[in-house]
Chain A
């Protein structure tokens, strides 16, 4: 059963976003972690790196595939989830909360307008699966 928390925004690249002022926390969605399978490794960006919207901010390896993590926002990386160093399994087990990946200080809040709400993301997933 797929989970789509109502308080998050979503990208079509399967990244969720939680907004707090001009800070955005990003992680992979439950749908993404389920599609990827067991996550084995992650490559984080450096703190203070600038990421562009639609560019990779890191990569993640599941059993047999390396997948780019595509940012849906432009801004500066201010934090990465150090807890993942101790237990990478939290990305699979709790993707929308303790398995968050990075915090970005946004420099263009209008980019949030292009993201989907929970219902929109649900519809997007359904359309992908019926293609």
Chain B
């Protein structure tokens, strides 16, 4: 099966989310091939999960003061500060039989690809066990993605090395996730936690693994992407062909940038219920 890969490049938060949604929309309409994409975030940004409330689940004021963009994702999960990192996104239609219907199994397959890729850098990573219920180590860090490994997410030495989130609909799914190159727990805590404390930063530090902090010599984002590609090719048995956005995806993503920039999307208040 021939897949498309979109090589690493940096964009702002709104462009990043718009491009992912454009690829997702076109794929579920059978207009685009299964796609693996790598990207970074400039300026740095905080992304929140589809159901999160920016007023109460991140430190919105601090993000504004620090010039950090805030964007709502299409996917679930918790807030992530996107600083020095590589984000992957994977989009596949339901005709792509490599991935089963079950969410946890999709996570498992993608995590195995990432783990195989990381192994080429000498990083050993394993899948977090699937357990029922939330697995946050600390309730006061609940709004932060990297504080809580979900089942089948990746751990290295017991710490979360990749935070992933997914959305799915009739016709396909989008999963994206962040691998931190380096990690600044104080900065992350100040942007994500409403009243961060030194103790919380320390707890976050002990929950998170960053790629370049596990290696004797740092690698570039491009090098990380190269080994991750290798992991996907080998684990999935696919060919990855370097590509670009289709004209339809480009047109759609241009329109979607405005959605992701809008207050209406960021402060989305609809008929929602959540676990209190």
Residues of A within 8 A of B (CB): 13, 35-38, 40-46, 54, 56, 59, 61-68, 70, 80, 84-85, 88-89, 128, 131
12 CB contacts below 8 A, A to B, read A37-B104, A37-B132, A40-B51, A40-B76, A56-B169, A59-B50, A62-B103, A64-B76, A64-B77, A64-B166, A68-B170, A89-B275
The count of A-to-B residue pairs whose CB atoms sit within 8 angstroms is: 95
Partner of A41, one of B102, B170, B272: B272
Interface residue? B55 (CB, 8 A): no
Residues of B within 8 Å of A, CB-based: how many?
33
Partner of B274, one of A36, A37, A40, A56: A40
B168: min CB distance to chain A, Å: 5
User: How does the 8 Å CB contact mask read for B35-79 relative to A, with 1 for contact and 0 for none?
Assistant: 000000000000001110000000000000000000000111100
Residues of B within 8 A of A (CB): 49-51, 74-77, 97, 100-104, 107, 132-134, 150-151, 153, 164-170, 270-275
In the complex, what residues of B have CB within 8 A of residue A68's CB?
Answer: 167-170
7 shortest A-B CB distances, which residue pairs?
A68-B169, A41-B274, A41-B51, A65-B166, A44-B271, A66-B76, A66-B167
Using CB atoms, name the residue of chain B closest to A64.
B150
Residue contact B169 to A67, C-beta cutoff 8 Å? yes
| A-B contact sample (15 more), CB < 8 A, given A37-B132, A61-B50, A62-B76 | A35-B101, A40-B274, A41-B272, A41-B274, A42-B274, A44-B271, A44-B272, A56-B170, A61-B76, A64-B103, A66-B51, A68-B170, A70-B169, A85-B273, A88-B273
| A41 to B270 Cα, complex, angstroms | 12
Using CB atoms, name the residue of chain B closest to A82.
B273
